[in-house]
Amino acid sequence: MYTIGIDTGSVATKGVLFNGNIIKKVIIPTGWSPKNASKQVYTLLLEDNNVDKNKVKKVVGTGYGRVSMVFADKTVTEITCHAKGAYFINNNIRTILDIGGQDSKVISLDEYGNVREFFMNDKCAAGTGRFLQVMANLLEGDVNDLDKLAEGTAPKQISSMCTVFAESEIVSLLANGASKESIAAGIIQSIANRAVTLLSKTSIKGDIAFTGGVAKSNILKKYIESKIKKNIYTPNDTQIIGALGAAVIGWNMIDK
């Protein structure tokens, strides 16, 4: 008996085949059609593992493309799925900080892994992966290089949170001869400040998980840790947590 969870995001579509444990995960680019991408993930999961589709009892969809997943038994928001996925990996987690490409959020869980409350940044790129990307482009580097660049350098203060203003601030910092390294560190610190503000909206108890594409940045993690004076935990493959949560929700739906 299996379940499948599929998380169709704006950039990548993720899938998990599940039978109480993770059997298989796949990640493909979403491309222009979220509908095709989710179908493709579904087929890949079945074929690669020689699983008969009758053995899959539930398919649960999440992510912004969930509305187009006509073959799913149920669709659930990424917030609930994130909570379930993170809790499955580590049931001591009570707070999740998720910084993705388009938005950032904080989810607080109870001891059963149910969502207690959650907060999202409001329709603005500040403090998201998008912000990092724009800034990295300015330094003529890749997002993944920012970390390397910033390593061991004291951050240059970047005061604007707004992507547009921060951009011009950085241009003038560069013109005034500030080093790329210190600016890279400053950019990461600015994201950290946003994340800490978001975290402060909920009372932090138990372990904190840091997820989403931006969670790969070690320096960002360290900045946040030093500000909230607590260790945070970055699960491996943070990208599939939503899909995993969807699969877990499907698993809980079936009579075993």
Partner 1 sequence: MADYRELWKSLDMDLEKHDKLCEVLPEFYEDVYLSQKNRPEGMNYYNFVISEVHGLRIKELDDHKQNGGKVLGTFCVFVPDEIIFSADAIGVGLCGGSDFWVPDGEKVLPRNICPLIKASVGAKISGTCPYFQSADMLVGETTCDGKKKAWEILNDYTPIHVMDLPQMKRENDKKHWKDEIKLFMDKVEELTGNKITEERLNNAIKLINRKRRVLQRLYNTRKADKLPISGKDALLITQIAFYDDLERFIQKTEELCDELERRIEKGVGVFPENTPRILVTGTPMAIPNWKIHHLIETSGGSVVCEETCTGTRYFENTVKENNKTLDEQIDALTDRYLNINCACFTPNEGRIDDIIRLYKEYNADGVIYNTLSFCHTYSVEYKKVKEALDKEGIPVMMIESDYSLQDSGQIKTRLEAFFEMLKERKSAYAK
Contacts with partner 1, residue ranges (CB under 8 A) = 64, 76-80, 103, 112, 114-118, 120, 122-123
The least distance separating partner 1 from the CB of residue 249, rounded to whole angstroms, comes to 10
DSSP the chain: -EEEEEEE-SSEEEEEEESSSEEEEEEEE-TT-HHHHHHHHHHHHHHHTT--GGGEEEEEEESGGGGG-TT-SEE--HHHHHHHHHHHH-TTEEEEEEE-SS-EEEEEE-TTS-EEEEEE--SS-TTSHHHHHHHHHHTTS-HHHHHHHHTT-PPPP----SHHHHHHHHHHHHHTT--HHHHHHHHHHHHHHHHHHHHTTS---SEEEEESGGGG-HHHHHHHHHHHTS-EE--SSGGGHHHHHHHHHHHHHS--
The least distance separating partner 1 from the CB of residue 77, rounded to whole angstroms, comes to 4
Nearer Cβ to partner 1 (120/164)? 120
Nearer Cβ to partner 1 (69/173)? 69
β-partners of residue 93 are 207
Nearer Cβ to partner 1 (111/145)? 111
The least distance separating partner 1 from the CB of residue 97, rounded to whole angstroms, comes to 16
The least distance separating partner 1 from the CB of residue 105, rounded to whole angstroms, comes to 9
The least distance separating partner 1 from the CB of residue 115, rounded to whole angstroms, comes to 4
Nearer Cβ to partner 1 (103/181)? 103
Nearer Cβ to partner 1 (76/136)? 76
Q: Which strand ranges, in their side-by-side order, compose the sheet holding 115-120? A: 115-120, 104-109, 93-99, 207-211, 232-233
Nearer Cβ to partner 1 (3/40)? 3
The least distance separating partner 1 from the CB of residue 84, rounded to whole angstroms, comes to 10
